[in-house]
Amino acid sequence: MNRTARNWAQIWVIPIVIVIVWETATRMQLLDPRFFIPLGDVAVTTVDQLVNGRLGSDLLTTLSRLGLAFALAAVAGVALGVASGHWRVIEWLTRPITDTLYPLPKIAILPLFLIIVGRGELAFILTAFATAFFQIIISTRGSVRNVSPELIEAGRNFGANGAKYFTRFLFPAIAPGLFNGLRLGLATCLITLVAAEFVGADSGLGSMIHRAGQQFAVDQIYAGLVLVGMIGLVVNLAFRALEPLLLPWQRHHANDEGSLITSGG
């Protein structure tokens, strides 16, 4: 067995074994069939709900909320992060506020947003936005701070001034940290968004699981969970695939599972 095949096997054998064991145990009804459903049936339900049910529109709703919230958070977070990393005054003014609000579970602000902006789209987008925004601003500020003073000095001496300083010098210098911050921001954004939908929305994947729970539709709960897990996985893989394209000068670590994980939310 060559090395890549072996790697691949190591990564996938256990998940596949779990799926097979689950499938046989549920088909033979070793597990209570009210709660444990064969994954084949879950797949059928998923497809059926996507085509005939509301799942398709719920999925689209969640994805568009995610896209909007993340785009806003990325722009605002990077802008404010770079500004507060670059100018001390802005750091003094914003840092106490961002550092206090960062560890606050953003899901707790949802009821407040629901009162202030009503039970529409905006409340959920704002909650998801807040999550990613604080994550991105803090990691961006950190990576601006991490640029070594000698490098900045050299850049200045070679005439990187004004707008050029930011576009040609600072952004390439902080790109790896920035990229990582955005990835983590998107991951936490998704988690909070779906949780917020679960708690209070009428549409979206989170609310679909809540509805299924109230109707005792276990197969739909599974379908929802699998879909959310898939989105998370796809988002993460997309970022990993993009990294070598966007940051070709970075050395890439093939397999660091630990970096998946972040705090906050």
Partner 1 sequence: MTWRMLRGKWVFLVGPVVLLGVWEVLSRTGILRPTFFPPPTEIISRSSIVLEAGQGIADDIGITVLRVLITIGLAVVVGVAVGIAVTASRWTERGTSTVLAFIYPIPGVLFFPFLAFLLGRNEAAVLLTALVTPLVVMVLYTIAGVRSIDPLILEVARNYGSRGARFFLRVIVPGALPSIVTGIRISLGFSLIAVIAIEMVGAQNGLGRFLWSNWQILRVTDMYVALLCIAVLGLLSSLGFDALADKLLPWRAEVRRRS
Interface residues with partner 1 (CB under 8 A) are: 7, 9-15, 17-18, 34-35, 92-97, 100-105, 107-109, 111-112, 114-116, 187, 190-192, 194-195, 198-199, 206, 209-210, 212-214, 216, 218, 221-222, 224-225, 228-229, 231-233, 235-236, 256-258, 260-265
CA angle 211, 218, 42 (to 5 degrees): 115
Distance CA 242, CA 5 (A): 23
Compare residues 162 and 258 and give the one whose CB is closer to partner 1: 258
Least distance in Å: CB of 251 to partner 1?
18
Distance CA 175, CA 239 (A): 13
Compare residues 216 and 249 and give the one whose CB is closer to partner 1: 216
Q: How many angstroms separate the first and last alpha carbons of the chain?
A: 42
Distance CA 80, CA 64 (A): 24
Q: Which helix (H) or strand (E) holds 204?
A: none
Classify residue 165 by its DSSP letter: I
Least distance in Å: CB of 240 to partner 1?
11
Compare residues 18 and 151 and give the one whose CB is closer to partner 1: 18
Compare residues 180 and 236 and give the one whose CB is closer to partner 1: 236
Least distance in Å: CB of 89 to partner 1?
9
Compare residues 74 and 184 and give the one whose CB is closer to partner 1: 184
Residue entry with tokens 């990576």: 143
Least distance in Å: CB of 130 to partner 1?
12
Compare residues 10 and 167 and give the one whose CB is closer to partner 1: 10
Assign 263 to helix, strand or coil: coil
Least distance in Å: CB of 62 to partner 1?
12
CB 127 within 8 A of CB 198: no
Closest CA to 184 of 252, 254, 110, 260: 260
Compare residues 69 and 114 and give the one whose CB is closer to partner 1: 114
> How many other C-beta atoms are found inside a 10 Å radius of the C-beta of residue 123?
22
Least distance in Å: CB of 32 to partner 1?
8
Count H helices and E strands in the chain, helices first. Answer: 11, 0
Least distance in Å: CB of 178 to partner 1?
18
Distance CA 67, CA 196 (A): 15
